[in-house]
Structure 1
Amino acid sequence: MADWSQLPTDLLGLIAKRLDTSFDLFRFRHVCTTWRSSVTPTRRRFPGRFPLLPNENNSKNFFSSSFGFSLSKRTVFVIRSPHNATSWLIKVKEDESNRKHLLNPLKRHRFDFAKVLDIQNLSLLEIGHEYVLNYINYPPNSLNDACTLYMEKLILMHLDQKSDLGGFVLLTIHVSGKLAIYTSENKDWVILEQMPSPYDDVILFKGKFYAVDNTGRIVYVDHSCFDVNLVANPVFGGDKKYLVQCKGDLLLVDMYLSIDATVDSSFSNEYFEHEPQLAYCMSERTVMFKVFRLDWKQKEWIEVKNLRDHVLFLGEDCVFSTSADDLGVSKGNCILFVDNLFYLSGEGDGSDCGHGVGVFDLESGCIKPLENYPELSKLFWPPPAWFTPTVLEV
């Protein structure tokens, strides 16, 4: 039998560069002393500060001040213990000191646990990730004081997958509804003026940027020349469009919203009395979804009636999909999403503040709170019994 501890150092370095997460690197370095000493626990580093997105009231000179953005990555995992069939769905944020913070997988809410995960003997499956711009109004060396401010979805493309120092491109949606691109080469934001309708979502699919507007019109965004090219025509009907990759296909999830007159509006009236538009949005509820698959040859959206064993997740900062088997549950063919209704009406699991989580069953067409599906609800709360107070060091 081969002695794996005797692999050449240069080969170990090549293997380590192809590991996707710091958790994979953590396990790699714990195989043996040779493997640990061959690789340092480093990860991709981004600039300490990004300029603010321009608008009609500011300009590029903001970057020369103490204002700006820092960039952080958050990864969604399904975690299992080899001694227990229970799965846990959790989002992990890494800060600048390489410490890990646990967050609700669909929301921005942080779990302030006294315990932390010992992942050495756990099974981790990455099912999604997100990038978040954090607003900072301190000098760049005060990143620990940063707070999340920018609320639009952000996606990142590495231009050189083999190098930790390679260039990258960011794509997001500007407050105007237009697309905004940041390149590490230019070190500045560019607003793309082509916009028949405001954009709803962006995605990195098979190494390319795509964006969808509120009509369902999807475009390919060429980051090299800032061109926007039509891929498929609109799908009218819903109020909010999401793009998600599922089983190798690009899906469009169309969310239908309605104002719910039955929900007590005292909460929104009390807390948003000076923001009537925000109060109006808080009274919206989701009433239906439709799912479409992109036919690349015909350049049109084809409605999908059944997701089979797959589950779609629509979070506040990212969307992702996985199979029921990967989650360790029996139910697929559904969409889990953040919804105002289950917060304002007092429904939901009650484990954290903020909006509740709803479940849309494609077979029945019904929407119910997460707590009505105990098997799915246990993925979020409470933490499993094997959640141990061992300090994690990577």
Structure 2
Amino acid sequence: MRNWSELNHDLLGEIVLKLAAIEDFVYFSVVCRSWNRASSLVKCTWKPTMPYLLLAKNEFQNPKFLRKVYSLSSDRCYKLSLPHTFRFRCWGSAFGWIVIQAGPSCITNPFTNARIRLPFVPTMWCEVTPLDNEDELATFYRQVTTRKLVVIQDVESGNDGGNDGGNGLIVFAMHTNWKRSLAFARPGDLTWTSVVAPRQPFTFRAADVVRRDRLVLILYEDSSVGYVELSDLSKSINLEQSSVQAKEFVPSPSPGDFKPRLSGMHLLEMYLVDSFGSLLMVLRHKSTKWDPNGEVSEDEVYKTVRFEVFGIDFKTKKWDRLKDLGDVALFVGDNQSMSVRASDCRNCKSNCIYFTDDCDELWDLPGYAGGHDMGFYDLEDGKIYQFYKGGNVHSTHCTPFWFVPHF
């Protein structure tokens, strides 16, 4: 064909849907009017396969409140104006939305500028003291309330959650409180609904949440997994102290069945990933050094030293150690834990775990900030490598995190 602009729109649409990166989608749409029309017809259906990295804010000479988005596929940065994300903790999702923790929390789509308010973050074990200073407010909410906010899709709603109304989305908040460590809300809810742990009294907090089919699975810090059905969440009511009871999916392992390797002064983060039919528990080990005189470099105060990955055997309900992820790469940190087929993405290495800094409990050390603990861990050789060497990394409020853009 001499004139590519005369290609059938259905054929062009199929080509667009195979594009992996958002910049490829944009480049395709500006070739000509015909290609722009074809791309607009599948714009709401198309989804990138690779997460993007939203870098930390830059407050110096930044009147437009621009933040950089790093594309691992192209090794380039792009700019977005995101004033409402400044000075507050944020978490990324696989559905285009970013969760912002403020007084009234919200979710926002940085590419469409849609924003939806959520209920006030429940403090669970303390009263909210009004603070005039935004920096103090952001620190207060981070230290005494929410550890992580995760967005999932409600498949029973028949909506993929990618629309600007947020229909079909459920936001889970993992809190610092030991007795009531998990709650959820949908866009439009007036209050948060608590999720009660399967066993009481329960002294382990919720570490991560993931949806698998019609179940929401909850990883607790004792490596047990609870679950609630999506249909149970739709029955929630906006009354004070309303709650949903979680049930046991995977019991807490005995010492003989499972024992993570621990050594020296360390921190441990846990993630739960639904990866192409497999349910994975990822353990992230961090070494720590502290010198009250401030003689330890910022990069040495804490840093990730290794990962361990375990897969659940659905027959025995036990965790098995995995040494090879195959063609899969994982993305963890201050975001919904995600996995991708590495062969479908440019510049993405298989059998690796890409991670960002989520050690928020140490971001307030005098003279220090978070953001430096970032890279990817190769399960084959057990080494950590850097994928980004630019700026806009350090912050005491919101360090870089992964998210998947949606239009």
Normalising by structure 2, what TM-score? 0.52
In the superposition, relative to structure 1, how do residues 181 and 40 fare at CA in structure 2: closer, same or farther (>3 Å)?
same
Structure 1 spans left out of the alignment, 5+ residues: 45-73, 79-88, 94-98, 116-126, 272-281, 345-351, 371-376, 384-393
Shift of 1:299: 1.9
Match of residue 255, structure 1, among 281, 284, 287: 284
Match of residue 308, structure 1, among 304, 326, 329: 326
Shift of 1:361: 3.3
Shift of 1:218: 0.9
In structure 1, what is the Cα distance between the partners aligned to 2:379 and 2:147? 29
In structure 2, what is the Cα distance between the partners aligned to 1:153 and 1:302? 27
State the SS of the aligned residue for 2:192.
strand
In structure 1, what is the Cα distance between the partners aligned to 2:333 and 2:24? 24
Residue type of the alignment partner of 2:153? M
Residue type of the alignment partner of 2:220? D
Which residue does the alignment assign to 2:85? none
Shift of 1:305: 1.9
Q: Is the 8 A contact 2:20 2:49 kept in 1?
A: no
In the superposition, relative to structure 1, how do residues 20 and 180 fare at CA in structure 2: closer, same or farther (>3 Å)?
farther
Deviations 1:130-167 (A, max 9, x none): 743324569999979x9986651312324232795544
Deviations 1:248-299 (A, max 9, x none): 3111112234434xx766549999xxxxxxxxxx844434322111222322
Which residue does the alignment assign to 1:77? 50
| Higher alpha-carbon deviation: 224-233 or 22-31 | 22-31
In structure 1, what is the Cα distance between the partners aligned to 2:259 and 2:310? 12
In structure 2, what is the Cα distance between the partners aligned to 1:130 and 1:220? 25
Shift of 1:336: 3.0
User: Is 1:203 aligned with 2:210?
Assistant: yes
Deviations 1:363-393 (A, max 9, x none): 34x343x2xxxxxx4x53469xxxxxxxxxx
Which residue does the alignment assign to 1:279? none
Within a 5 Å distance, the mapping from 1:287-366 to structure 2 comes to: 287-329=305-347, 331-338=349-356, 354-364=371-381, 366=382
Which residue does the alignment assign to 2:182? 179
Q: Is the 8 A contact 2:217 2:228 kept in 1?
A: yes
Which residue does the alignment assign to 2:98? 132
In structure 2, what is the Cα distance between the partners aligned to 1:329 and 1:41? 25
Normalising by structure 1, what TM-score? 0.53
In structure 1, what is the Cα distance between the partners aligned to 2:160 and 2:53? 28
Which residue does the alignment assign to 1:160? 158
In the superposition, relative to structure 1, how do residues 153 and 131 fare at CA in structure 2: closer, same or farther (>3 Å)?
farther
Which residue does the alignment assign to 2:388? 380
Q: Is the 8 A contact 1:203 1:209 kept in 2?
A: yes
Q: Is the 8 A contact 1:157 1:168 kept in 2?
A: yes
In the superposition, relative to structure 1, how do residues 27 and 211 fare at CA in structure 2: closer, same or farther (>3 Å)?
farther
Shift of 1:180: 0.5
Q: Is the 8 A contact 1:176 1:198 kept in 2?
A: yes
Which residue does the alignment assign to 1:244? 273
Match of residue 220, structure 1, among 227, 236, 253: 227
In structure 2, what is the Cα distance between the partners aligned to 1:313 and 1:129? 14
Structure 2 spans left out of the alignment, 5+ residues: 57-64, 82-92, 107-112, 117-133, 233-243, 261-267, 363-368, 392-406
Q: Which structure is higher in RCO with an 8 Å CA cutoff and minimum separation 6? A: 2
In the superposition, relative to structure 1, how do residues 289 and 382 fare at CA in structure 2: closer, same or farther (>3 Å)?
closer
Which residue does the alignment assign to 2:62? none
| Higher alpha-carbon deviation: 19-28 or 220-229 | 19-28
State the SS of the aligned residue for 1:224.
helix
Shift of 1:216: 0.8
| Higher alpha-carbon deviation: 35-44 or 330-339 | 35-44
Q: Is the 8 A contact 1:167 1:185 kept in 2?
A: no
Q: Is the 8 A contact 1:90 1:105 kept in 2?
A: yes
State the SS of the aligned residue for 1:335.
strand
State the SS of the aligned residue for 2:246.
strand
CA RMSD of aligned residues (A): 5.5
In the superposition, relative to structure 1, how do residues 142 and 199 fare at CA in structure 2: closer, same or farther (>3 Å)?
closer
